Amino acid sequence: MLMWLWQFVRPYRLRLVVAVVALIFTATLTLSLGQGIKLMIDEGFSSQSTLGLANALTFVGFIIVAMSVGAYFRFYMISWLGERVIADIRKKLYSHLISLPPSFFEDNLAGEIQSRVTTDTTLLQTVIGSSFSFALRNTLTFIGGLTLMFISNVKLTMIVLLVVPFIVFPLIYFGRKVKKLSRDSQDKIATVGAWAGESLQHIKVVQAFTREDRVNDQFGEAAEGAFDVALKRIRQRAALIAMVMMLVMGAVAGMLFVGGSDVIAGELSAGDLAAFVFYAIMVAGSLAAVTEVYGEVQRAAGAAERIRELLAMTSDIRSPQESNSV
């Protein structure tokens, strides 16, 4: 899917570079807050120094202002890119559709085709303009936080990392199932849209033959079918998110016990433990966020497949490259 999308993103790669730089900048500043917390505790609270506390708060305030500026550029550039790319996809898709022969529209319902032009592209827009940025930011936070955790305390970091294999494998397993269910869900939604479009377009015929009840029952069956498939997808994602949260938070709790024991024994300062806990929470939160976004990306992959299928359709009737004069 990413390779296919790149052909639409490539003309705007400069804006993409600006968005990625702003994203890295904000992720780095977010992790720097851990050092601010460490200074507040060690130089302010533990030392009972008002000056140390003021200096730590000044440092934190500077980081917050810089984060706000970076967040503005990140959000604006990513949102602009998402809207622009989807507009280009819709234009190319519609231009291709009107070049297809009438036989294609006889074999495919107009409502289903319209669903691919609108619903599927809207889902892609959400992922490009929001989810990809969210996933990349949390991935950078995860990598940066993990690096700082190793620098701060290797022993506590290893405790947290014990649960990683138990997260990665379920993520791959559930991700594949969500992708398939997302494709099925989009097909069902297209069917519902097709039923509504066709019945309303020919409502006079439906009413003339008093088939309102029959059409209503058929639409209800299609709507319930879409709900059943969506419910299966939701269950898979909910199970994945719950599993990740339980494992990660359990590892953080174990880390807190070991780290707290080291503080009591005088082997670790309270500020170092607080900074480490901050990094651990950021890593845990980013991992849970990436897990949730992964499901959205799989849904978008299903929508992208449906759009690519339409773009791959070819017309049997083609204009000659050179016209012969009669």
pLDDT in tens, 273-305: 888 888 888 887 787 777 667 667 766 776 777
Domains and CATH numbers, the chain: 2-312 (1.20.1560.10)
Which backbone phi and psi does 171 adopt, to 5 degrees?
A: -60, -45
Q: How far apart are CA 116 and CA 86, in angstroms?
A: 12
Task: List Cβ neighbours of 34 (8 Å cut-off, separation of 6 or more).
Answer: 148, 275, 276, 278, 279, 282
**More confident position, 136 or 177:** 136
- Return the closest-CA partner of residue 299 out of 125, 80, 139: 125
Predicted pLDDT at 208:
80
Question: What does the pLDDT look like over 227-275, one tens digit per residue?
Answer: 887 888 788 778 877 877 787 777 778 778 888 888 888 888 888 888 8
Beta carbons within 10 angstroms of residue 115's beta carbon: 22
Per-residue confidence (pLDDT) for residue 111, from 0 to 100: 66
Q: Exposed/middle/buried for 27, CB within 10 Å: 0-12, 13-18, 19+?
A: buried
Q: How far is CA 254 from the centre of its chain?
A: 30
**Model pLDDT, residue 146:** 86
pTM summary value:
0.63
Q: At a CB cut-off of 8 Å and minimum separation 6, what does 55 contact?
A: 39, 43
Of residues 128, 139, 75, the one with CA closest to residue 290: 139
What letter would DSSP give residue 162?
T
The Cα 133–Cα 264 span in angstroms is 41
